[in-house]
Amino acid sequence: MAGAELVSRRVVPGWLRRCLRAGLIMTLSAAVLCALCGGALLALTPNVSDAEQRVRALDAERGISALAVPTPPKVAEALVATEDSRFWRNPGIDPVGVARAVVVWLEGRGGDGGGATLEQQLAKMLYTNGGRTRTDQVEQVALSLKLAHDYPKSEILQMYLAIAYFGHGFYGLEAAARGYFGTTPNRLTWPQAALLAGLVQAPSLYDPLHDPHLARARRAEVLGRLVAVGDLTSAQARAYADGPLDVSP
């Protein structure tokens, strides 16, 4: 046994063993620190048990009752494919998205690197008044974990779509479906669902009434995401992308 240890020490140089030991200590220390900071952040951020009440209050201010509208499968799939493809299996945050956001922060660029989950976006709308500062984004991460813990994914989707802004004063899926297409959410076609799912990122940029060219490009992008996650075939996506926007003036 002593001989094996002696061979090991000869094979692995002392400086390398010291580096590995130091790296392990630093990694463990960082993990402990992150756990302590995360625990403190969870304790300091608001309880999210009132999320539905906040949604209802916002809807009441706007004179709508969008929370009562069930989420149509087409809209759910288009939104998830575009905004948060790992939504159904993530714990409220997406580790890949968080890593991307950290890189963006370190480089001093604005935004979150496109890594915000639907829970984070919902937290931003309900609890941080749409804030985009670094402090707001850190708080949104903690709140998104709480939302994912307290609510089923289906309810998170329903709350999100009840208060999301689709442009032209249309808050909530019901108002957007009627305003753009003169129909109810459950009657939306794939092209219509794709158009609405694409609007939540930037309603004024992809406005189908003012800039149909960009709106068509965004719709095609959403249809492409639906192909990527297996909800549509390439042939279906091409056919839908070639069709008219068919929005009400």
Confidence band for 18, pLDDT divided at 50, 70 and 90: low
- Residue 86 and residue 39 share a domain: no
- CB atoms under 10 Å from CB of 18, counted, come to 10
- Tell me: do 191 and 126 sit in the same domain: yes
Map 37-65 to HEC letters: HHHHHHHHCCCCCCHHHHHHHHHHHCCCC
Shared domain for 109 and 1, answered yes or no, is no
For the four alpha carbons of 211, 230, 154 and 87, in that order, the dihedral sign comes to: negative
- For residue 17, pLDDT beyond 90: no
Give 64-69's long-range contacts (Cβ < 8 A, gap of 24+).
64/171, 64/172, 64/174, 64/175, 66/161, 66/162, 66/163, 66/171, 66/172, 66/173, 66/174, 66/175, 67/158, 67/159, 67/162, 69/158, 69/161, 69/162, 69/172, 69/173, 69/174, 69/185
**What is the phi/psi pair of residue 158, to 5°?**
-65, -45
Pick the closest to residue 45 from 156, 162, 138 (CA basis).
138
Q: Are residues 4 and 99 in the same domain?
A: no
What does the pLDDT look like over 202-239, one tens digit per residue?
999 999 999 999 999 999 999 999 999 999 999 999 99
User: Both 75 and 39 in a single domain?
Assistant: no
Task: Identify whether residues 168 and 145 lie together within a single domain.
Answer: yes
Structure tokens at 119: 């829970």
Residue 245 reports pLDDT greater than 80: yes
pLDDT at 66: 79
Q: Which pLDDT score, from 0 to 100, does residue 44 have?
A: 75
CB 111 within 8 A of CB 100: no
113 pLDDT above the threshold of 60: no
Q: Where is average pLDDT lowest: 30-44, 96-110, 141-155?
A: 30-44
Residues 38 and 162: their CA atoms lie apart, in Å, by 30
Domain that holds residue 21: 1-44
- Separation between Cα atoms, residue 166 and residue 122, nearest integer Å: 15
Assigned domain for 238 exists: yes
- Res. 45 pLDDT band, cuts 50 70 90: confident
**Domain shared by 66 and 176, yes or no:** yes
* Predicted pLDDT at 227: 98
Amino acid present at 150: D
Q: Is residue 115 part of a domain?
A: yes
Q: What is the pLDDT of residue 11?
A: 60
Instruction: State pTM to two decimals.
Output: 0.79
Same domain, 194 and 100: yes
Residues 88 and 170 occupy one common structural domain: yes
Residue 248 domain-assigned?
Answer: no
Least confident of 73-77, 94-98, 193-197: 94-98
pLDDT at 230: 96
What pLDDT shows up at residue 153? Answer: 97
The reported pLDDT for the residue numbered 34 is 44
Question: Rounded mean pLDDT of 140-161?
Answer: 96
Instruction: Fill in the DSSP letter of residue 248.
Output: -
Residue 137 pLDDT exceeds 70: yes
- Does residue 116 sit in the same domain as residue 187? yes
pLDDT (tens digit per residue) in 54-63:
999 999 999 8
Residue 7: band (very low, low, confident or very high) from pLDDT cuts 50, 70, 90: very low
Cβ 48 vs Cβ 143: under 8 Å: yes
Helices within 151-246 (DSSP H only): 153-163, 173-181, 190-199, 212-228, 234-242
- Give the residue carrying structure tokens 């008219």: 244
Count of domains forming the chain: 2
